[in-house]
């Protein structure tokens, strides 16, 4: 019982510890560069959602919501202004891509240049499945072949014929 308790507490401790590690950059952002939120909570929600979808160009792995850079802050402000001016989400994203290209979108759009990006992994998976299927089929064929050859009820001539048939099939 004592052992279980200790284990339980250390697990809680570890969870909190790693939870903090994961959230450290978020904590930084909100602690040191508070933005002035929009007064309308619905509009502010939209702004935050858009911020998540726009890449910070200075620190490229982060969205502008997570980034501390000056440009990210300017862009956050700009998004809020466009919302207040009555722009739709699409218009705001278009505004950004007109200036910075598709690169600024955290989810690049599905189009000619990004087909490989979106469908490459699925394609690789399909090729893998097909390859496994053929390898599996061939090894099964081999099994049948050897087990048939071991069979005593066929004479050598019959075994040769069987091999021939199976080989033709496998080719």
Give me the residues that bind another protein (CB under 8 A), please: 57-58, 60, 70-71, 74-75, 78, 97-103, 138, 142, 145-146, 149, 156, 159-160, 163, 167, 170-171
Q: What's CA 34's distance to the chain center, in Å?
A: 30
Q: What's CA 160's distance to the chain center, in Å?
A: 52
Give the tokens for residue 171: 């080719």
* Shortest separation between residue 55's beta carbon and another protein, angstroms: 9
Closer residue to another protein, CB minimum distance, 6 or 163? 163
Helices (H) and strands (E) in the chain, counts: 6, 0
* Shortest separation between residue 97's beta carbon and another protein, angstroms: 7
According to DSSP, residue 165 is labeled H
Closer residue to another protein, CB minimum distance, 6 or 143? 143
Phi and psi angles of residue 153, each rounded to the nearest 5 degrees, phi first: -80, -5
Cα separation, 61 vs 12, in Å, equals 30
Closer residue to another protein, CB minimum distance, 7 or 164? 164
* Shortest separation between residue 75's beta carbon and another protein, angstroms: 7
Closer residue to another protein, CB minimum distance, 6 or 160? 160
* Shortest separation between residue 142's beta carbon and another protein, angstroms: 7
Q: What's CA 142's distance to the chain center, in Å?
A: 39
Residue 113: closest CA among 100, 99, 103, 126: 103
């Amino acid at each position: 019982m004592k052992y279980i308790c200790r284990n339980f507490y250390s697990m809680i401790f570890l969870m909190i510890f790693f939870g903090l590690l994961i959230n450290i950059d978020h904590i930084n952002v909100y602690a040191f560069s508070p933005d002035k939120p929009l007064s309308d909570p619905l509009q502010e929600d939209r702004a935050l959602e858009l911020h998540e979808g726009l890449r910070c160009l200075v620190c490229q792995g982060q969205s502008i919501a997570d980034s501390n850079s000056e440009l990210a802050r300017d862009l956050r402000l700009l998004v809020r202004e466009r919302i207040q001016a009555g722009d739709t989400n699409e218009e705001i994203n278009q505004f950004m891509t007109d200036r910075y290209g598709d690169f600024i979108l955290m989810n690049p759009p599905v189009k000619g240049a990004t087909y490989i990006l979106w469908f490459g992994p699925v394609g690789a998976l399909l090729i893998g499945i097909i390859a496994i299927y053929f390898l599996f089929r061939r090894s099964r064929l081999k099994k049948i072949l050897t087990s048939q050859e071991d069979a005593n009820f066929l004479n050598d001539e019959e075994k040769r014929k069987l091999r021939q048939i199976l080989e033709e099939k496998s080719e």
